[in-house]
Amino acid sequence: MFHWLKKMFVREAIITTILNEEDLMKKFLIIGLGNPGSKYAETRHNIGFKVVNEIASSKEATFDTLKLGAIASIKHRGKSIVLLKPNTFMNLSGKAIKFYMKQENITIENILVITDDLNLPFGTLRMKAKGTDGGHNGLKDTQITLNTPKYPRLRFGISDEFSNGRQVDYVLGEWNKEEQKDLPERLSTAAEMALSFTHAGLANTMNQFNGK
């Protein structure tokens, strides 16, 4: 009798563990990096904010300002997705990311950090499973705070069309007319790519979208 009960409890514990692991795999955190406030809204450095805004808009979701950032929750193909725009300013992005990973019980494999990249031509999209910060302060703080460079990220190219010593002015500058014309299509593709990460997986998404 006791042996049978013990086997039943062990079986239930195993099933509960499997279900909990499955639930974890269904939950994702997509983070757009940027700086809060209208002053920075249309700057190149805020492309991460723009992409998560595009995702939220496609799902008719709205953001609420909560601790350390603006948050929206959406569903996509059976997945629960938390969208985050940190309000800690770029240099402290990792603080908000770590907080919401813990708050929402989301594993590092299921986060996606979206950021601008000077080393890619304008509008080029490239997803990676890991990498260096490449001199990007938001990625640098994220790597330090999470204590690893091994987290998925989606880089949105902003090109490097600036003269010597003008990098800060460039990344904190607004899009030119040509970029503004092409931006809506690029944002739509970036949003599609980010959502693909949650249901198709990292490798499949990279194969389908990288370089497009």
Where in the sequence numbering do the catalytic residues fall?
A: 45
User: Are the CB atoms for 114 and 153 separated by under 8 Å?
Assistant: yes
Q: Which two tokens stand for residue 81?
A: 């997705």
User: Are the CB atoms for 39 and 168 separated by under 8 Å?
Assistant: no
Strand, coil or helix: 15: helix
DSSP β-ladder status, 125-128 and 69-76 = unpaired
Give Cα separations from 118 to 64, 93, 124, 166, 170 (angstroms). Answer: 30, 18, 10, 13, 10
- Measured CA to CA, the distance from residue 84 to residue 126 in angstroms comes to 20
